[in-house]
A = this chain, B = another copy of it.
Amino acid sequence: MLSREENELLTRVGRGTPMGELLRRYWYPIAASSELIEKPTKAVRVLDEDLVLYRDKQGRPGLIGSQCAHRRMSLVLGIPEKDGLRCPYHGWLYDRNGKCLEQPYEQAEDPDSTFKERIRMPAYPVEELGGLIFAYLGPQPAPLLPRWELFVRDGVLRDIGAAVIPCNWLQIMGIIKTRMLEGESEDNEDWQVGHPVLFPNILLSGSTSRPTFQIRVPVDDTHTLHLWYTCYPRGDSEGPQEVIPFYNVPVPGVDATGEPQWALLDNNSGEDMIAWITQGGVADRTQEALGLSDKGIILYRRQLKEQLEKVQTGQDPINVFRDPTKNVYIKLRLEDSKLNSGSFRSGPRRQGGATKYSPVLNQEERVGK
């Protein structure tokens, strides 16, 4: 049970809040690279900030404030150009650093105008890795984007599922290490391996031959972008994957009469989501009752508080990487044997989670692999 103040401390993600400042020390995936193939821009809300993601004509992703500095029109309508994003209203052009490069009317009427030099838009660094576009919203110098094994390993197929879940990120981090499943013995990998957390927001779901990162990106205090980043062993005959497919995972809820959407609860990701969502936008932890089963929760909250203190005393929190030699390939302790298994494990749980909607897996099944 937490006090109201402690609950707010751990759940608020906006700029200037203690947790918002801690969370800003990390990179977050905000889109799949493939999302920008079909559409020119993507509206992004992350850590309570409204931004627009685009890819310029040189192929570089950029992330700037959502409202044009001139007259506040949304740049989700912006037009990507060689050097940045142009507002369609009066044509102001911004580069990836938020600098205003052009103001057509001002320059036409006064070629010596210095007005554009006094304009600055919010802008944040973005990098691509493993088919994801990551952003960093914290203080400079930015740390390195961690090269976790799943993002960089060769010889695998990947796909990326996404859902925006209408609740605070912290209640999604409420995992227990082991599950008790009727009829399964303690030899089961769920007992042996568990689900490690890569602080602050990645769960490695390692219970099958398809390792998955469940990445929880705080959108705002009451919404979380949930990504399922899955790797599948790739046969020698298959070439490298040109585009990592992106798919949406439907989010179950309760309808206006309070009735659960049972049709979306036929898989364990759907069940997880409704357990998180029905706790409310921010769970009222003044009314919880934690027990022995919640050691993981208690440990995680303690870890959050320790890292909050580190930030407040000017130190880097854990999992902030600054040494490039240590960021080539960050091996994950327990996954190696599984990836080396080289084949899918069959069984009834195969389609049991968000991968129910996975295009890679569905294609595999169709071709009878």
Contacts and interface: CB of A to CB of B under 8 A. Distances in A.
A225 to B, nearest CB: 11
B43 A254 contact: yes
A289 B113 contact: no
Interface string A279-292: 11001110111111
A330 interface: no
Contacts of A67: 278-280, 284, 287
B70 A288 contact: yes
A129 interface: no
Given A39-B259, A259-B43, A275-B89, A72 B104 contact: no
Nearest to A100: B289
A274 interface: yes
Contacts of A260: 76-77
Given A76-B278, A271-B88, A291 B258 contact: no
A304 interface: no
A73 interface: yes
Interface in A95-146: 103-106, 108-110, 113, 115, 118-119
Contacts of A278: 67, 72-74, 76-77
A291 B180 contact: no
Contact of A69 (B39, B110, B174, B287): B287
A293 interface: yes
B292 A72 contact: no
Contacts of A288: 69-72
The residue in A110, A119, A275, A280 that gathers the most chain B C-beta atoms within 10 A of its C-beta is: A275
Contact of A292 (B69, B109, B291): B109
Interface in A21-78: 39, 42-45, 67, 69-74, 76-77
Contacts of A118: 289
Nearest to A276: B73
Interface in A243-290: 254, 257-260, 271, 274-275, 278-280, 283-285, 287-290
Q: Which of A113, A258, A260 has the most CB of B within 10 A?
A: A258
Given A287-B67, A291-B115, A275 B105 contact: no
Interface of A: 39, 42-45, 67, 69-74, 76-77, 88-90, 103-106, 108-110, 113, 115, 118-119, 164, 174, 176, 180, 254, 257-260, 271, 274-275, 278-280, 283-285, 287-294
10 smallest beta-carbon distances between A and B, as pairs: A43-B258, A74-B278, A105-B293, A72-B279, A109-B292, A72-B283, A73-B275, A106-B291, A89-B275, A69-B289
22 contacts: A44-B258, A45-B258, A67-B278, A67-B284, A71-B288, A72-B285, A72-B288, A73-B275, A73-B278, A74-B278, A77-B260, A77-B275, A77-B278, A88-B271, A88-B275, A103-B291, A105-B293, A109-B293, A113-B291, A113-B292, A118-B289, A119-B289
Given A71-B174, A109-B292, A109-B293, 10 more contacts: A43-B257, A70-B288, A70-B290, A71-B283, A71-B294, A72-B279, A72-B288, A74-B274, A119-B289, A164-B257
